[in-house]
A and B are shown apart, each in its own frame.
Chain A
Amino acid sequence: MGTVITIDIYTADGDASPVLMRALGTAQAILQRADAVFSTWNYDSPVSRLRRGEIASGQAPPEVADVIAGCAAARAASDGWFDPWAMPGGFDPTGYVKGWAAQRAARALRVPGARGAIVNAAGDIASFGALGPCAPFRIGIADPFARTQLAAVVCLAGAIATSGSYERGPHLIDPHTGQPTARAASASVTGPDLGLADALATALAVAGAPGLALIEPLDGYEALIIGHDRQHRATAGFPFAPPENE
């Protein structure tokens, strides 16, 4: 995937117990396996072979069926704005797989001793737990117009994915036209599942502010769009962090 992934585990006493180190190894293995199966950069990966028609989906590893099902659900939820079947070169689940894999890696970290964990796959984040009672994780959202600045801070309960024209450039394809199109500078989606949040963020980066109407009815999911006009538009329940006491 060419993705830099960082994993932070929060514990009561800061000790790296054998249980935690094993869980970390499992999480790493999950990420490596996902890359081996789904990487479209790898000519021989099952998904590359699927795209070339060399194998049918029934001959691919079982995770592929899970991802196909997840992509179908995301396509439905995004009203077709996320459509991995409409990508150049054939079915391309890349916009879903990164989040899907990071979410599974996070799940593997739920072991005794871990009060919380954050799996950050190049800005798509899966998490569980918190810093402490009444102390949720705080995640900054990068400002697409000033990349060392933060546009907003959110209180994270679960996952957040951000997609933007600055990140992927020509990879944001409008499924309706087949053209690279980004109607938002940046779109962030929060919710329980990072795979779906990842796909929805991609969809919103293509669709722009009108896409917010797709997110409002989705239970547990919220979104923020930063337009090319630098305006912020968000769903009603988007979890902005309250301003800090100075």
Chain B
Amino acid sequence: MKRTPIVVTATVAGLAGVLAFHTSPPEVNLTPSPGTTGQQADQSSPTAGRPAASPSRGPTSTSRPSPTPTSSSSRAASGNDGTRTIDGPAVNYSYGVLSVSVTLSGNKIVKVGIASLNDDGSFRSEMIDQQAIPILEQEAVQAQSANIQGVSGASYTSAGFKTSLQAALRSAGFS
């Protein structure tokens, strides 16, 4: 009985809902900044065959450092390396309550994670932590580096995610 697709859809949509309140226009730094970790500016970032450029949109580029996800009830903390981590508000999802944390260096998302999750220890939450977070993090970082707000066409991550999730759930007895 394959109920898991519903869980994945709802949960990830909830996750993204917490993440994704952007200011308009978005104030993101499009050039990779030195010293940030991992995922941007390596050869796996999507490009259109040109180096990532910072176009001017309108008369001036605003530079107010506003965290990309924000809400009136989020907490913020500063790291030693100049990064800031913001925890989003707790959100009800199908199996409990979760909140997301986003780490920013300047205006650039460098990490996404689960700040808190209360679901009575359900197996599905481990899946969320292990599978969905790296995907959303990678997509968030990649979208910034190419100055786009999304990608059309199934990414390798979607297919891989579904496959590995289905296989893992099958082996755990959810079929």
Interface residues of A (CB under 8 A from B): 1-16, 20-21, 24, 27-28, 31-32, 35-36, 39, 41-43, 115-116, 118, 120, 122-125, 131-135, 137-142, 144, 147-154, 156, 160-162, 164, 166-167, 186, 188, 243-246
Nearest residue, chain B, Cβ from A33: B6
State which of A4, A14, A42 has its C-beta within 8 Å of the C-beta of B161: A4
17 pairs, CB–CB < 8 Å, chain A vs chain B = A2-B5, A4-B9, A6-B139, A10-B23, A10-B26, A11-B24, A15-B21, A20-B21, A32-B9, A32-B10, A35-B9, A131-B57, A134-B57, A140-B143, A142-B155, A148-B45, A186-B153
Does B152 lie within 8 Å of A141, measured CB to CB?
yes
Count of A-B contacts judged by CB separation below 8 Å: 210
Check if B150 is an interface residue, CB within 8 A of chain A: yes
As a 0/1 sequence over residues 1 to 28 of chain B, the CB contacts with chain A under 8 angstroms (1 = contact) are: 1111110111011101110111111100
Cβ of A130 to closest chain B Cβ, rounded Å: 8
Could you say which residues of chain A place their CB within 8 Å of the CB of B136? 6
Task: Tell me whether A28 and B13 are in contact in the complex, defined as CB-CB below 8 angstroms, given that A11-B22, A20-B21, A162-B152 are known contacts.
Answer: yes
Determine the distance from Cα of A110 to Cα of B22 in the docked complex, in whole angstroms.
15
Cβ of B55 to closest chain A Cβ, rounded Å: 5
Does B57 lie within 8 Å of A132, measured CB to CB?
yes
State which of A31, A42, A124, A134 has its C-beta within 8 Å of the C-beta of B9: A31
State which of A28, A133, A142, A149 has its C-beta within 8 Å of the C-beta of B58: A133
Could you say which residues of chain A place their CB within 8 Å of the CB of B105? none
Does B44 lie within 8 Å of A148, measured CB to CB?
yes
Interface residues of B (CB under 8 A from A): 1-6, 8-10, 12-14, 16-18, 20-26, 44-48, 50-51, 53, 55-58, 66-68, 70-72, 89, 132, 135-136, 139, 142-143, 146-156, 158-159, 161-162, 166
State which of B4, B16, B55, B154 has its C-beta within 8 Å of the C-beta of A122: B154
Could you say which residues of chain A place their CB within 8 Å of the CB of B48? 140, 149-153
Determine the distance from Cα of A9 to Cα of B69 in the docked complex, in whole angstroms.
10
Does B20 lie within 8 Å of A4, measured CB to CB?
no
Determine the distance from Cα of A135 to Cα of B68 in the docked complex, in whole angstroms.
18
Cβ of B25 to closest chain A Cβ, rounded Å: 4
Could you say which residues of chain A place their CB within 8 Å of the CB of B8? 2-4
Does B5 lie within 8 Å of A147, measured CB to CB?
no
Determine the distance from Cα of A97 to Cα of B119 in the docked complex, in whole angstroms.
30
